[in-house]
Structure 1
Amino acid sequence: MRKPVSVAFMAVAALALQAWAPAGAAGTSTYRSTSHPVLFVHGYNGAASNWDTMAGRFRNDGWPASHLDQWQYDSRQSNATTAQQLAAEVDRLLAATGASKVDIVTHSMGGLSSRHYAKHLGGSEKIDAWVSLAGPNHGTDAAESCFDASCHDMRFGSDFLTTLNSGDETPGTPRYATWWSPCDTFINPDSSVSVSGAVNRQTACIGHSTFLTDATVYAQVRDTVNS
């Protein structure tokens, strides 16, 4: 039975911006010379600060600040437009760090623009690992409650999703991975998150915004991008 959406989709930002527990204490560094810079892409109505906890944990695990890019964009615009801006940001980050590829870690709608970039704008050649946390990769009924261009992209059967999911859902050489929760009331159905050809993981019973701060999810994401 489909889970009810008890809160409007635009509440994602309010939930995501709640105070979080501080990042874990610094320990043995897991950063290596082969580790790539990480580009974080927030979701609908989100902000770069949504990633403060996760980026802090990466820093504690040895990633230099220069390799942690908490990118901000206008989430009301179409995901195709965001993908073009993302392409420019990837190139900027690669030039700034001297790296050959990036790891892209996304939350919610951030997975859609980054997949468009990988599939249609040559991004698959510049991405080593792509991570989708609670992404509406095949649509969500929560998008019926908002009306921006990006919301239309997230609706079932939209032209954007039809094109994005036609043919190979995981093109090129990036390592694709998704995480979904049975308790996420913003992504309905749960199966929307999983992408054919990716490593698709179920989390514990956590909410949509908790993906950003959950310690177990972080450790799995860190190990995925660093493998």
Structure 2
Amino acid sequence: MRPSRRAAAGALAAATFAGLTLQAPAAGARTAVAGPDPIVFVHGWNSSGSTWNTMAGRFQADGWAASRLSQWSYNTSQSNVTTASQLAQEIDRVLAATGAARVDVVTHSMGGLSSRYYTKNLGGSAKVDSWVSLGGPNHGTDTAYWCGGASCTEMRPGSSFLNALNSGDETPGTSRYATWWSPCDSIINPDSSVALSGATNTRTACLGHSDLHNDATVYDQVKAFVG
């Protein structure tokens, strides 16, 4: 017996719906949003994520979505090793939230140390595309003798933390590395502490330590590097 038109139409609709259902994304799947890499900002000692307000605002004005700019804060008195583990969690959170494959990490001062530990020892190079250090005490600074706690001890020239961090390849993995240093930075002594072997190392104009993340020229150079 030939099926009715209604039955045939129902069968066709069911088959079509079944095909669409098979093509639907799995539950919980996240679609990556096109755009530049998300940026995770890592501040320095005795500071907070708000120190990046000017630079993050410039990135947003130049096309980065606010949801792709993480002005992360952490306890600056703890060991940089502890901070590196917490940074790993923050980067994983940003990657999951944005659907991006990698992030860019922009750091100021001591923020460069925990992030370098992350890229070198915690598998971070696979997740960090570009890494930036603005006035980082990458080989230590004499001013760290004037503060206390684990993080300050680690920033002192010749500390066991820095010796291990700088042993072997200073810019390991597939990440791209860049540093900016100022001849007028009174916090990082000596000035040569900032530059890393294998990185793009840039001397700025006569800028104070806290001006490095607010200066428009430095911003343009950082944007070009991470972009």
Q: TM-score range by the shorter chain?
A: 0.7 to 0.9
- Structure 1 gaps of 5+ residues are 1-31
Q: Which residue of 2 aligns with 1:59?
A: 60
What whole-Å deviation, never above 9, does each CA across 1:19-41 have from its counterpart, x for those lacking one?
Answer: xxxxxxxxxxxxx9451000000
Q: Which residue of 2 aligns with 1:184?
A: 185
**Cα separation, 2, equivalents of 1:83 and 1:141:** 23
Q: Which residue of 2 aligns with 1:194?
A: 195
Give 4+ residue runs of structure 1 displaced > 3 Å after superposition. none
TM-score (norm 2): 0.85
* AA partner of residue 51 (structure 1): W
Spell out the pairing of 1:38-57 with structure 2 (5 A cutoff). 38-57=39-58
Aligned CA RMSD, in angstroms, stands at: 0.9
* AA partner of residue 163 (structure 2): T
**Cα separation, 1, equivalents of 2:194 and 2:160:** 18
CA contact (8 A) 2:35 2:64 kept: no
SS in 2 for 1:56: helix
**Cα separation, 2, equivalents of 1:126 and 1:75:** 23
Q: Which residue of 2 aligns with 1:22?
A: none
- Structure 2 gaps of 5+ residues are 1-32
* Structure 2 residue 223 is the aligned partner of structure 1 residue 222: yes
Q: Which residue of 1 aligns with 2:98?
A: 97
Q: Which residue of 1 aligns with 2:113?
A: 112
> Structure 1 vs Structure 2: percent identity of aligned residues?
66
TM-score (norm 1): 0.85
SS in 2 for 1:212: coil
Q: Which residue of 2 aligns with 1:20?
A: none
**Cα separation, 1, equivalents of 2:213 and 2:156:** 23
CA contact (8 A) 2:55 2:219 kept: yes
* Structure 2 residue 148 is the aligned partner of structure 1 residue 147: yes
CA contact (8 A) 2:177 2:200 kept: yes
Relative contact order higher in (CA < 8 Å, ≥ 6 apart): 1
**Cα separation, 1, equivalents of 2:161 and 2:103:** 24
**Cα separation, 2, equivalents of 1:182 and 1:156:** 19
Q: Which residue of 2 aligns with 1:16?
A: none
* AA partner of residue 203 (structure 1): T
